[in-house]
């Protein structure tokens, strides 16, 4: 599904103005002219390949994303991407319309996020024909792992042997360089010793020894990644996820995160997407505090979408404590997404549940209580080192189904109900919902995977055998089957409601702390849905807010239960962890 656009093989004036300004800020006046010539020449080549244009809205209530590895489901004697296509086609068609296949390129570690070759498909998964087959029936999200590369990447091999072009693609610093101000997601050293032809050198490695940061201060690196971006678009990617982009630019004497130059690079990539492939959506993955995260919207000129990183820890906290105070306050305070932008909502992914996005929202003691509970549920906590050398929790590593097996009162029998409630809330919130495959299948902690890999994140990265998974999903006596089919049902309901359009208005209500409630109103004002969720283990009787229609003519329709409430109904009873989507009818 190529999305390449042509304008008589000419780039519009607005683009050249913006691009020139951004390149000036990044690389200085003396390089602007030659870099602009290079950029325009490259983009004109891309324009000429395919003159297809994009029309229509960027997204709708029908957009629902599945997050999965290319080999999360496996079958003997079949390429994993073929197995994935079969599973999507037979079991999820109509429930999701998009799939985020986590890095499907050759890699050396971190399950794909240490990329060896950006331009080929990992042969252990399949090839480009498998990717293109999936893209014919489902919109594709592809990772642009833009901050770092594998030690086995050709660029880094060239660096070690002092060969062009890779010899100038990395950040080399003296061992004694003071990096104490640098914000870290890990506890490993910032500077990693490597042996080169010129002896031992120290290179910048934000995430670890096999993820070496590239140097965007070299414009050649920028152009390498522009080429990769254009390749992914040409292969049909509707969504491009900029992995770990907040750490992109480094500057001495700064925190080396969220720098202005980083934002300018993202804006330039957005400009390129808007002019060459305007149906493509740029997403920033920035596991940082809430205000920093949403800054990547820019002024509607940066990311189209940002991950809603604050949602997972706050919703987990709300369900663990049976109290919506912090969750409700945050949703009230969260600004509406700018024009032509929206949020990507999720509760779980291949990574853990980030805790930095809760900074300044959840008190530290509340965070620690949550961390302690996840330890009790056999989860792990990854740590990071701050600028003062102190270690603090960075993310919780646990399968979401196990994270919801109890509350601060202990284990109980509401695990499945609590899990479905969490997703019913997430699915209804303003933005586009993304469900991790191991949430859809209610996968439990994979401690065997942790033992095999030696990495705590593997606890939520199980590899299913296809026959084994289907047996679980078709066994009505197991929670996997009930949850799988109920989540699919909720997704199908969602996709038919105009009030659940990603940009439809949202208003959080203050009913009581045992429930979480909000209105959604369609863009044309013709549909209003009241979402009320009992987040406690006690039955709640909730007074209904005033019906939005005139006089006393209105009735309520419960979209989940498929029942109608009389116009005289003034309150509703919700059982523990029950969620209702009430459509207001005239």
CATH code, 555: 2.60.40.1180
Kindly state whether residue 278 falls inside one of the protein's structural domains.
Answer: no
pLDDT at 545: 86
For residue 542, the enclosing domain spans 505-585
Q: How many domains does the chain have?
A: 2
Percent of the chain with pLDDT over 90: 88
Lowest mean pLDDT among 47-61, 181-195, 240-254: 47-61
The stretches of 10-138 forming alpha helices (DSSP H) are: 13-27, 29-49, 80-87, 128-137
pLDDT at 265: 98
- For residue 585, what are the β-bridge partners? 555
Which are the contacts of 51, defined by CB distance < 8 A and separation ≥ 6?
4, 5, 6
End of a domain among 168, 186, 213? 213
End of a domain among 160, 187, 213? 213
Q: How many CA atoms lie within 13 A of 245 on its CB side?
A: 30
pLDDT at 105: 98
Kindly state whether residue 12 falls inside one of the protein's structural domains.
Answer: no
pLDDT bucket at 129, cuts 50 / 70 / 90: very high
End of a domain among 213, 234, 259? 213
Whether 1 has a pLDDT exceeding 60, the answer reads no
pLDDT at 99: 98
pLDDT at 7: 41
- Mean pLDDT along residues 377-395: 85
Whether 116 has a pLDDT exceeding 60, the answer reads yes
pLDDT bucket at 52, cuts 50 / 70 / 90: low
Q: Residue with structure tokens 């409430």?
A: 565
pLDDT at 553: 63
Kindly state whether residue 551 falls inside one of the protein's structural domains.
Answer: yes
pLDDT at 390: 79
pLDDT at 51: 55
- Mean pLDDT along residues 393-419: 96
Whether 362 has a pLDDT exceeding 70, the answer reads yes
Give just the sign of the alpha carbon dihedral 378, 456, 442, 344: positive
The mean pLDDT of the chain is: 94
Rounded CA-CA distance 126/80 in Å is 7
Rounded CA-CA distance 14/131 in Å is 34
CATH number at residue 161: 3.90.400.10
pLDDT at 54: 59
Rounded CA-CA distance 543/510 in Å is 11
Kindly state whether residue 552 falls inside one of the protein's structural domains.
Answer: yes
Q: Residue with structure tokens 């080192």?
A: 385
Kindly state whether residue 117 falls inside one of the protein's structural domains.
Answer: no
* Residue 586 among known ligand-binding residues: no
Rounded CA-CA distance 279/284 in Å is 17
Lowest mean pLDDT among 37-51, 116-130, 473-487, 518-532: 37-51
Rounded alpha-carbon distances, angstroms, from residue 154 to 59, 106, 188: 37, 12, 24
pLDDT at 157: 98
- Mean pLDDT along residues 256-263: 98
Kindly state whether residue 73 falls inside one of the protein's structural domains.
Answer: no
Kindly state whether residue 563 falls inside one of the protein's structural domains.
Answer: yes
Percent of the chain with pLDDT over 70: 96
Q: Which residues are catalytic?
A: 243
Asked if 307 contacts 394 with a C-beta cutoff of 8 angstroms, the reply is no
* Residue 274 among known ligand-binding residues: no
Whether 2 has a pLDDT exceeding 80, the answer reads no
Kindly report the backbone phi and psi dihedral angles of residue 518, in degrees, each rounded to the nearest multiple of 5, phi listed first.
-160, 155
Kindly report the backbone phi and psi dihedral angles of residue 165, in degrees, each rounded to the nearest multiple of 5, phi listed first.
-90, -10
pLDDT bucket at 386, cuts 50 / 70 / 90: confident
For 507, the token pair is 């208003």
* Residue 110 among known ligand-binding residues: yes
Q: What is the pLDDT of residues 237-255, one digit of tens each?
A: 999 999 999 999 999 899 9
pLDDT at 184: 84
pLDDT at 370: 95
Rounded CA-CA distance 132/117 in Å is 18
Kindly state whether residue 349 falls inside one of the protein's structural domains.
Answer: no
* Residue 91 among known ligand-binding residues: no
């Amino acid at each position: 599904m190529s999305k390449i656009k042509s304008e008589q093989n000419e780039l519009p004036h607005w683009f050249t103005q913006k691009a020139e300004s951004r390149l000036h800020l990044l690389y200085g006046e003396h390089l602007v002219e030659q870099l602009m010539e290079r950029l325009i020449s490259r983009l004109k080549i891309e324009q000429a390949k395919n003159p297809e244009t994009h029309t229509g809205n960027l997204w709708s209530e029908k957009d629902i994303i599945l997050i999965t590895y290319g080999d999360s489901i496996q079958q003997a004697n079949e390429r994993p991407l073929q197995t994935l296509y079969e599973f999507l086609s037979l079991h999820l068609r109509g429930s999701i319309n998009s799939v985020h296949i986590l890095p499907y390129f050759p890699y050396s570690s971190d399950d794909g996020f240490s990329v060896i070759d950006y331009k080929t498909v990992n042969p252990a998964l399949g090839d480009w024909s498998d990717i293109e087959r999936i893209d014919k029936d489902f919109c594709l999200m592809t990772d642009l792992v833009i901050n770092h590369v594998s030690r086995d990447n050709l660029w880094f091999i060239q660096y070690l042997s002092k060969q062009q072009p890779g010899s100038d693609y990395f950040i080399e610093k003296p061992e004694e360089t003071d990096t104490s101000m640098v914000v870290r997601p890990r506890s490993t050293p910032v500077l990693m010793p490597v042996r080169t032809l010129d002896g031992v050198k120290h290179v910048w490695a934000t995430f670890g020894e096999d993820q070496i940061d590239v140097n965007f201060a070299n414009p050649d690196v920028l152009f390498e990644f522009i080429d990769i971006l254009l390749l992914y678009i040409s292969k049909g990617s509707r969504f491009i996820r900029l992995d770990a982009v907040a750490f992109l630019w480094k500057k001495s004497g700064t925190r080396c995160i969220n720098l202005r130059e980083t934002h300018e690079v993202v804006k330039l990539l957005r400009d390129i997407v808007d002019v060459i492939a305007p149906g493509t959506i740029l997403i920033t993955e920035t596991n940082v505090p809430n205000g920093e995260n949403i800054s990547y919207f820019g002024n509607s000129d940066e990311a189209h979408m940002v991950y809603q990183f604050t949602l997972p820890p706050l919703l987990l906290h709300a369900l663990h404590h049976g109290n919506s105070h912090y969750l409700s306050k945050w949703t009230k305070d969260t600004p509406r997404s700018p024009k032509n932008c929206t949020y990507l909502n999720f509760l779980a992914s291949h990574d853990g549940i980030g805790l930095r996005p809760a900074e300044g929202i959840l008190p530290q003691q509340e965070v620690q209580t949550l961390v302690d509970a996840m330890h009790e549920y056999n989860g792990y906590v990854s740590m990071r080192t701050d600028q003062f050398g102190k270690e603090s929790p960075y993310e919780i590593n646990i399968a979401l189904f196990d994270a919801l097996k109890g509350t601060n009162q202990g284990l109980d029998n509401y695990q499945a109900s609590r899990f479905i409630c969490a997703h019913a809330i997430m699915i209804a919130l303003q933005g586009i919902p993304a469900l991790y495959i191991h949430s859809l299948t209610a996968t439990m902690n994979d401690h065997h995977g942790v033992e095999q890999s030696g990495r705590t994140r593997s606890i939520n990265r199980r590899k299913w055998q296809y026959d084994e998974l289907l047996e679980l999903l078709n066994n009505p006596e197991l929670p996997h089957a009930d949850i799988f089919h109920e989540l699919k049902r909720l997704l199908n309901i969602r996709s038919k409601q105009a009030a659940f359009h990603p940009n439809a208005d949202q208003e959080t209500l203050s009913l009581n702390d045992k429930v979480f409630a909000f209105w959604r109103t369609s863009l044309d004002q013709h549909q209003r849905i009241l979402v009320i969720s009992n987040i406690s283990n006690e039955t709640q009787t909730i007074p209904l807010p005033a019906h939005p229609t005139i006089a006393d003519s209105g009735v309520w329709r419960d979209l989940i239960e498929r029942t109608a409430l009389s116009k005289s109904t003034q309150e509703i009873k919700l059982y523990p962890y029950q969620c209702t989507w009430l459509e207001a009818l005239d």
